[in-house]
Amino acid sequence: MAGAPWWEEFGAGPAPAATDTAPAAAPQVVPSPRPPRRPRGLQVTAAVLSVVLLALLGLLAARSLTGPAAAPGPEAVPGSGTPAAPPVTPVGSAAADPPAGTAAADAAATSELERLRERGLATHPPRGQWVAQLAAKSVGTTDPVQTAANGSSTFYAADILAQSREIASGVAGGDVFVLRSTDFGTGLVDARGNPYWATLAAGPFADSDDVRAWCDSMFARVPADERGNACLPKQLTPPAGR
């Protein structure tokens, strides 16, 4: 007879029955979700904007403490060691002085009047003929019954030229030319020694009466007592002493 199993020999009773139960599985650990990461470019931009904003705030604070910038002072005169005094604008000027800003226009007008004078001397040299004088103004003349191109009653070179051109374009049938008052007769000048620029009209005038009749016809709308300021006879004799 075979020997008994070891557990029976030791009186431990029958061997435990085998079971099919599998060991319990360990609980599964679910990782917690990670917060989304911000793009790195946005972080850099936000940092730069923060720096710029802080810099602007600092600049504004500094300016508020120092106050507004002072106005620049007058420039120093080279070599003098002292600042130059600001230019002084005169309050008034002499009546014969051109207004500020017209010097260039008057210089150009004077050159044009000289050109017209040279042409007038070439086409109508004074030899004793009668002409109609339509205007005569020296630079700085004030005529209270006339208005210059500058809006006042004082005529400067540019105003004299403008008036002469207006007369030349409006006098029908008249051969209009320009001379200086020193080009004929006694050489009349104004109180300052300046010659007059005379705007003249030639015609078949035998004497002063012919000129007056022409003036009455051409300037019929001008009152008779004012017509002498618009048209009058003038004899162009050679200048005295020539």
pLDDT tens by residue, 185-215: 999 999 999 999 999 999 999 999 999 999 9
Q: Looking at the domain assignment, is residue 213 inside a domain?
A: yes
Q: Which domain holds residue 217?
A: 109-236
168 domain-assigned: yes
| Cα 167 to Cα 197: distance, rounded to the nearest angstrom | 13
Neighbours of 105 (CB within 10 A): 17
Residue 166 lies in a domain: yes
31 in any annotated domain: no
Structure tokens at 97: 């002085």
pTM: 0.57
Cα separation values, 90 from 75, 97, 99, 150, 156, Å:
21, 12, 12, 21, 20
> What is the per-residue pLDDT across 8-41, written as a single tens digit (0 to 9) for each?
444 444 444 444 444 445 455 555 555 555 555 5
Q: Is residue 163 part of a domain?
A: yes
Residue 115 in domain: yes
Rounded distance, CA 197 to CA 136, Å?
5
Residue 174 included in any domain: yes
Q: Is the model's pLDDT at 180 over the cut of 70?
A: yes
Tally of domains in the chain: 1
Residue type for position 216: D
Q: Is residue 61 part of a domain?
A: no
